[in-house]
Structure 1
Protein backbone atom coordinates (compact mmCIF):
# COMPACT_ATOMS: atom_id res chain seq x y z
CA UNK A 1 0.00 0.00 0.00
CA UNK A 2 1.34 3.41 -0.93
CA UNK A 3 1.89 6.18 1.60
CA UNK A 4 -0.99 8.14 0.07
CA UNK A 5 -3.35 5.20 0.52
CA UNK A 6 -2.25 4.68 4.11
CA UNK A 7 -2.91 8.34 4.88
CA UNK A 8 -6.27 8.14 3.07
CA UNK A 9 -7.31 5.15 5.19
CA UNK A 10 -6.41 7.07 8.34
CA UNK A 11 -8.44 10.06 7.14
CA UNK A 12 -11.42 7.83 6.29
CA UNK A 13 -11.31 6.09 9.66
CA UNK A 14 -11.22 9.50 11.34
CA UNK A 15 -14.19 10.55 9.23
CA UNK A 16 -16.05 7.38 10.18
CA UNK A 17 -15.58 8.33 13.83
CA UNK A 18 -16.80 11.84 13.11
CA UNK A 19 -19.92 10.52 11.37
CA UNK A 20 -20.69 8.21 14.28
CA UNK A 21 -20.33 11.23 16.57
CA UNK A 22 -22.63 13.28 14.35
CA UNK A 23 -25.30 10.60 14.46
CA UNK A 24 -25.09 10.56 18.26
CA UNK A 25 -25.28 14.36 18.33
CA UNK A 26 -28.50 14.26 16.29
CA UNK A 27 -29.95 11.49 18.45
CA UNK A 28 -29.08 13.52 21.55
CA UNK A 29 -30.77 16.53 19.94
CA UNK A 30 -27.65 18.67 20.12
CA UNK A 31 -27.62 22.23 18.81
CA UNK A 32 -28.08 22.28 15.02
CA UNK A 33 -25.16 24.61 14.34
CA UNK A 34 -22.83 22.30 16.27
CA UNK A 35 -24.07 19.34 14.23
CA UNK A 36 -23.62 21.27 11.01
CA UNK A 37 -20.07 22.24 11.96
CA UNK A 38 -19.24 18.60 12.56
CA UNK A 39 -20.73 17.65 9.19
CA UNK A 40 -18.46 20.26 7.56
CA UNK A 41 -15.47 18.76 9.37
CA UNK A 42 -16.36 15.28 8.09
CA UNK A 43 -16.72 16.62 4.55
CA UNK A 44 -13.31 18.20 4.84
CA UNK A 45 -11.80 14.88 5.91
CA UNK A 46 -13.44 13.13 2.94
CA UNK A 47 -11.98 15.74 0.61
CA UNK A 48 -8.55 15.18 2.14
CA UNK A 49 -8.84 11.42 1.61
CA UNK A 50 -9.92 11.97 -1.99
CA UNK A 51 -6.94 14.27 -2.65
CA UNK A 52 -4.59 11.62 -1.27
CA UNK A 53 -6.13 8.89 -3.42
CA UNK A 54 -5.90 11.09 -6.52
CA UNK A 55 -2.28 12.01 -5.77
CA UNK A 56 -1.47 8.33 -5.49
CA UNK A 57 -3.27 7.65 -8.75
CA UNK A 58 -1.25 10.34 -10.50
CA UNK A 59 2.01 9.03 -9.05
CA UNK A 60 1.34 5.40 -9.94
CA UNK A 61 -1.36 4.60 -12.49
CA UNK A 62 -1.01 7.72 -14.63
CA UNK A 63 2.79 7.73 -14.46
CA UNK A 64 2.94 4.05 -15.42
CA UNK A 65 0.57 4.62 -18.34
CA UNK A 66 2.70 7.50 -19.58
CA UNK A 67 5.95 5.56 -19.25
CA UNK A 68 4.60 2.51 -21.06
CA UNK A 69 2.65 4.63 -23.55
CA UNK A 70 -0.41 2.49 -22.78
CA UNK A 71 -3.85 3.68 -21.81
CA UNK A 72 -2.72 7.32 -21.65
CA UNK A 73 -5.94 8.51 -23.27
CA UNK A 74 -8.03 6.34 -20.94
CA UNK A 75 -6.27 7.78 -17.88
CA UNK A 76 -6.62 11.32 -19.22
CA UNK A 77 -10.34 10.80 -19.88
CA UNK A 78 -10.85 9.37 -16.39
CA UNK A 79 -9.19 12.37 -14.79
CA UNK A 80 -11.13 14.80 -16.97
CA UNK A 81 -14.42 13.14 -15.96
CA UNK A 82 -13.46 13.19 -12.30
CA UNK A 83 -12.42 16.84 -12.39
CA UNK A 84 -15.79 17.66 -13.94
CA UNK A 85 -17.53 15.92 -11.02
CA UNK A 86 -15.37 17.77 -8.51
CA UNK A 87 -16.22 21.12 -10.06
CA UNK A 88 -19.99 20.51 -10.11
Structure 2
Protein backbone atom coordinates (compact mmCIF):
# COMPACT_ATOMS: atom_id res chain seq x y z
CA UNK A 1 0.00 0.00 0.00
CA UNK A 2 1.35 3.41 -0.97
CA UNK A 3 2.09 6.11 1.59
CA UNK A 4 -0.73 8.24 0.19
CA UNK A 5 -3.24 5.41 0.63
CA UNK A 6 -2.06 4.80 4.19
CA UNK A 7 -2.61 8.48 4.99
CA UNK A 8 -6.03 8.46 3.31
CA UNK A 9 -7.03 5.34 5.23
CA UNK A 10 -6.03 6.87 8.55
CA UNK A 11 -7.89 10.10 7.77
CA UNK A 12 -11.03 8.16 6.81
CA UNK A 13 -10.87 6.05 9.96
CA UNK A 14 -10.58 9.23 12.00
CA UNK A 15 -13.54 10.72 10.13
CA UNK A 16 -15.56 7.57 10.78
CA UNK A 17 -14.90 7.90 14.51
CA UNK A 18 -15.83 11.55 14.36
CA UNK A 19 -19.09 10.76 12.54
CA UNK A 20 -19.95 8.17 15.19
CA UNK A 21 -19.41 10.93 17.76
CA UNK A 22 -21.64 13.31 15.79
CA UNK A 23 -24.42 10.72 15.69
CA UNK A 24 -24.16 10.36 19.45
CA UNK A 25 -24.26 14.17 19.83
CA UNK A 26 -27.48 14.34 17.80
CA UNK A 27 -29.03 11.46 19.74
CA UNK A 28 -28.17 13.34 22.95
CA UNK A 29 -29.76 16.50 21.54
CA UNK A 30 -26.53 18.47 21.90
CA UNK A 31 -26.20 22.13 20.91
CA UNK A 32 -26.65 22.63 17.14
CA UNK A 33 -23.54 24.75 16.62
CA UNK A 34 -21.37 22.15 18.36
CA UNK A 35 -22.81 19.47 16.10
CA UNK A 36 -22.28 21.63 13.02
CA UNK A 37 -18.65 22.32 13.95
CA UNK A 38 -18.02 18.59 14.25
CA UNK A 39 -19.66 17.96 10.88
CA UNK A 40 -17.38 20.57 9.29
CA UNK A 41 -14.34 18.95 10.91
CA UNK A 42 -15.30 15.53 9.53
CA UNK A 43 -15.84 17.02 6.06
CA UNK A 44 -12.33 18.46 6.23
CA UNK A 45 -10.89 15.03 7.00
CA UNK A 46 -12.70 13.46 4.05
CA UNK A 47 -11.42 16.21 1.74
CA UNK A 48 -7.86 15.61 2.98
CA UNK A 49 -8.28 11.88 2.37
CA UNK A 50 -9.43 12.59 -1.18
CA UNK A 51 -6.36 14.77 -1.73
CA UNK A 52 -4.11 11.91 -0.61
CA UNK A 53 -5.85 9.50 -2.99
CA UNK A 54 -5.41 11.96 -5.86
CA UNK A 55 -1.73 12.51 -4.98
CA UNK A 56 -1.21 8.78 -5.15
CA UNK A 57 -3.00 8.59 -8.48
CA UNK A 58 -0.78 11.31 -9.92
CA UNK A 59 2.42 9.90 -8.44
CA UNK A 60 1.78 6.36 -9.59
CA UNK A 61 -0.98 5.79 -12.14
CA UNK A 62 -0.63 8.98 -14.17
CA UNK A 63 3.17 8.98 -13.99
CA UNK A 64 3.29 5.38 -15.19
CA UNK A 65 0.83 6.09 -18.01
CA UNK A 66 2.84 9.11 -19.15
CA UNK A 67 6.22 7.38 -19.08
CA UNK A 68 4.94 4.28 -20.88
CA UNK A 69 2.54 6.23 -23.11
CA UNK A 70 -0.10 3.77 -21.95
CA UNK A 71 -3.43 5.63 -21.89
CA UNK A 72 -1.78 8.88 -20.77
CA UNK A 73 -4.51 10.96 -22.43
CA UNK A 74 -7.22 9.01 -20.61
CA UNK A 75 -5.48 9.45 -17.24
CA UNK A 76 -5.11 13.19 -17.79
CA UNK A 77 -8.77 13.39 -18.80
CA UNK A 78 -9.73 11.61 -15.56
CA UNK A 79 -7.74 14.11 -13.47
CA UNK A 80 -9.30 17.04 -15.34
CA UNK A 81 -12.76 15.62 -14.67
CA UNK A 82 -12.08 15.23 -10.94
CA UNK A 83 -10.58 18.73 -10.69
CA UNK A 84 -13.65 20.11 -12.40
CA UNK A 85 -15.87 18.44 -9.80
CA UNK A 86 -13.75 19.75 -6.95
CA UNK A 87 -13.38 23.30 -8.21
CA UNK A 88 -16.77 23.90 -9.82
CA UNK A 89 -19.00 22.61 -7.02
Regarding TM over 0.5, the answer is yes
Matches of 1:73 and 1:66 in 2, distance apart?
Answer: 8
- 1:52 alignment partner in structure 2: 52
Question: Which consecutive aligned stretches of 4+ in structure 1 deviate over 3 angstroms post-superposition?
Answer: none
Q: CA deviation at 1:70?
A: 1.1
- Pairs aligned (count): 88
- 2:7 alignment partner in structure 1: 7
Structure 2 residue runs without a partner (length 5+): none
TM-score (norm: length of structure 2): 0.97
> Aligned Cα RMSD in Å?
0.5
Matches of 1:46 and 1:19 in 2, distance apart?
Answer: 11
Q: SS in structure 2 opposite 1:35?
A: helix
TM-score (norm: length of structure 1): 0.98
> Residue by residue, what CA displacement relative to the aligned partner does 1:34-54 show, whole Å, maximum 9, x if unpaired?
000000000000011001000
